[in-house]
Amino acid sequence: MHINGFTRFLLIAALIAGMSAAAFADTIRLKDGSVIRGQIVGFRDQQFTVLIGGGARGRRSQITLYMEDVDSIEFDAATATTTNAGASAPEPVRDQAPPPRTASTEPRLSTNTGTTTPERNTPRPAASTPTTAAEGSFFKINVRVRADNSANGWTNSGLVVRRGQKLRINSTGRVSLGQGRFSTPSGLPRVNDENKLMRGEPTGGLIAVIGDDNDEFIFLGSDTEFEAKRDGVLFLGVNEGNLNDNSGTYDTVVEAEAVSGGGR
């Protein structure tokens, strides 16, 4: 079959476009409605550094975006790009997962106990009023938290947090826990599960851990705010012992305080 020059050009252009699209992991939506697809490689002095394009010899262009111009950032879970809101850090290897999914000691942070409940905010609308300078500046990351046993039951949020950094986390959706049971991020307080990571918290609720060598789990539920107690990657998961028959995802928005230098 003979392919003329114009047809060959179209085929090559389509191939290059497909390869470029596959390489981009991050979707940055700006407040003016623009959408940028690239790879976030750094954050310093209230500015994101983003690699875009796929030029000759594998070279890619670099742009800088001011944080106040960014509306939201969405990561491709398949590539788990890491965003650092203060300093760079390597992404944990998938095989070197956070703590194993076995029963653990009681959490230090909980939204359901009277003595260790972190301060909670009322739910915020999707288009919230910009945060004032006195409150600090926050940027958003959208994460789909899987309920199954993928990656040892933990979803890498792509965010490296610093000790003392404030985080606001809001989550919606419904997942299947198997055996005809369904849960929201708030969990099922009446369902007993001796093997879940946080025994004192509702089964199926949204939980978190900072770092891949830490068992200080944090119960998040549908909406919470807290300060990070250590540096590390933020992982999100479901508070249940048996994840093998689970399915579905929680749609989660992480709002992280913008910090610079060494944090607090």
In this structure, are 102 and 218 located in the same domain?
Answer: yes
Q: Count of domains in the chain? A: 2
**Domain edge (last residue) among 28, 45, 76:** 76
Provide the mean pLDDT of the chain. 74
Q: What is the CATH number of the domain that holds 199?
A: 2.60.120.430
Residue 151 lies in a domain: yes
Residue 92 is predicted with a pLDDT of 40
In this structure, are 237 and 145 located in the same domain?
Answer: yes
Residue 66: which residues within 8 A CB-CB, separation 6 or more? 46, 47
Strand-pair category, 181-183 with 206-210: unpaired
Residue 82 lies in a domain: no
In this structure, are 30 and 158 located in the same domain?
Answer: no
Give the range among 59-73, 91-105, 134-148, 240-254 with minimum mean pLDDT: 91-105
Concatenated DSSP letters of the chain:
----HHHHHHHHHHHHHHHHHHH--EEEEETTS-EEEEEEEEEETTEEEEEE---GGG--EEEEEEGGGEEEEEE-TTT---EESSS--PPPPTTS-SS-SS--PPPSB-SSSSSSPPP-PPP--SSPPPPPTTT--EEEEEEEEE-SSGGGGEEEEEEEE-TT-EEEEEEE--EEEETTEEE-TT-BTT---TTSS-TTS-BT-EEEEESSS----EE-TTEEEEE-SS-EEEEEEE--S--TT-B-EEEEEEEEE---TT--
Residue 9 lies in a domain: yes
**Domain edge (last residue) among 76, 102, 118:** 76
Give the rounded percent of residues in the chain with a pLDDT score beyond 90: 42
In this structure, are 147 and 225 located in the same domain?
Answer: yes
Residue 88 is predicted with a pLDDT of 39
In this structure, are 21 and 45 located in the same domain?
Answer: yes
Residue 163 lies in a domain: yes
In this structure, are 66 and 197 located in the same domain?
Answer: no
In this structure, are 9 and 99 located in the same domain?
Answer: no
In this structure, are 33 and 164 located in the same domain?
Answer: no
- pLDDT exceeds 90 at position 230: yes
Q: Which two tokens stand for residue 226?
A: 């807290």
Find residue 181's DSSP bridge partners: 178
What would the mean pLDDT of 33-59 be, rounded to a whole number?
Answer: 73
Most confident of 46-55, 63-72, 104-113: 63-72
Residue 85 lies in a domain: no
Higher-pLDDT residue of 85 and 240 is: 240
- Residue 249's domain spans which residues? 91-264
Residue 252 lies in a domain: yes
Give the rounded percent of residues in the chain with a pLDDT score beyond 70: 62
In this structure, are 136 and 177 located in the same domain?
Answer: yes
Q: What is the CATH number of the domain that holds 40?
A: 2.30.30.100
Residue 109: which residues within 8 A CB-CB, separation 6 or more? 116, 118, 216, 218, 219, 226, 229
In this structure, are 57 and 114 located in the same domain?
Answer: no
Residue 70: which residues within 8 A CB-CB, separation 6 or more? 28, 29, 30, 31, 48, 139
In this structure, are 158 and 255 located in the same domain?
Answer: yes
CA distance 225 to 235: 15
Residue 8 is predicted with a pLDDT of 52
What would the mean pLDDT of 203-232 be, rounded to a whole number?
Answer: 94
Most confident of 66-70, 147-151, 245-249: 245-249
In this structure, are 69 and 119 located in the same domain?
Answer: no
CA distance 77 to 65: 22
